[in-house]
Structure 1
């Protein structure tokens, strides 16, 4: 991010040829406005490029709803106007770290024991019977239409 910003603002390139070539190739995707780097998009507005220390704040303090998956969170951040290069993987890791196991963690178990509630986990015994419910609903809906 810094080499691209330095090139856009001051015209400075990296000293090594490989790095300079990379900056020249990538610089077309970005624009600098008042010292802030923004990423251009084909069908979206300019996205504000964030530094690593800013990403945690945006993810934790933003009103983006942490009960979604990492990819959905990354797409919401793009719609909000933010960008960083490892956004997708970082958002997935953040959601995994923040959400954990929703109702099977130690903190929630302690809360339930203080409330005098015993938690039991169950699973669907016959998941293949769901088609029967859908068939019955189809018959009821067909009768209602008549």
Structure 2
């Protein structure tokens, strides 16, 4: 996200022409509003981009906090998008988070056929 932010705020591009072209194309999907990076979507509102240190809190909050659904990885990622958040590795991070959840693992073992 830092290269995208640098490009949108400071018009800074990589030296490599191919990387610069790819960054311009990717940056078209983002906007800076009040100093914060947001991802644009076609059929959704702007999504607030989170930094890596913020993602665990949001995963925890949606998975076991106020929502307390203990849902699977893909559904967790969809709920995060509905809540208005985004980061590039959202789907694998959500799936990994669910694998570490003790309650989800106990429930999945309970529902397995003997």
Q: Where on the TM-score scale, by shorter chain, does this alignment land: which range? A: 0.7 to 0.9
Structure 2: gaps (5+ residues): none
Greater CA radius of gyration, 1 or 2? Answer: 1
In structure 2, do the counterparts of structure 1 residues 72 and 10 end up closer, same or farther at CA, with 3 Å as the change threshold? same
Contact 1:64 1:73 in 2 (8 A): no
Structure-1 residue corresponding to 2:61:
61
Once residues 53 and 3 of structure 1 are traced to their aligned partners in structure 2, the CA distance between those partners, rounded to angstroms, is: 18
Structure-1 residue corresponding to 2:95:
92
RMSD, aligned CA: 2.2
How many correspondences in the alignment? 108
Structure 1: gaps (5+ residues): 106-121, 125-146
Query: Under a length normalisation based on structure 1, what TM-score does the superposition of the two structures give?
Result: 0.66
Structure-1 residue corresponding to 2:80:
77
Equivalent positions of 1:34-49 (< 5 A) are 34-49=34-49
Structure-2 residue corresponding to 1:19:
19
Contact 1:47 1:82 in 2 (8 A): yes
In structure 2, do the counterparts of structure 1 residues 26 and 103 end up closer, same or farther at CA, with 3 Å as the change threshold? closer
Once residues 42 and 123 of structure 1 are traced to their aligned partners in structure 2, the CA distance between those partners, rounded to angstroms, is: 42
Cα deviation code 1:108-129 (max 9, x no counterpart): xxxxxxxxxxxxxx957xxxxx
Cα deviation code 1:68-124 (max 9, x no counterpart): 11000000000000001111111011011114521699xxxxxxxxxxxxxxxx957
Once residues 96 and 71 of structure 1 are traced to their aligned partners in structure 2, the CA distance between those partners, rounded to angstroms, is: 12
In structure 2, do the counterparts of structure 1 residues 104 and 19 end up closer, same or farther at CA, with 3 Å as the change threshold? closer
Once residues 11 and 94 of structure 1 are traced to their aligned partners in structure 2, the CA distance between those partners, rounded to angstroms, is: 36
Contact 1:39 1:46 in 2 (8 A): yes
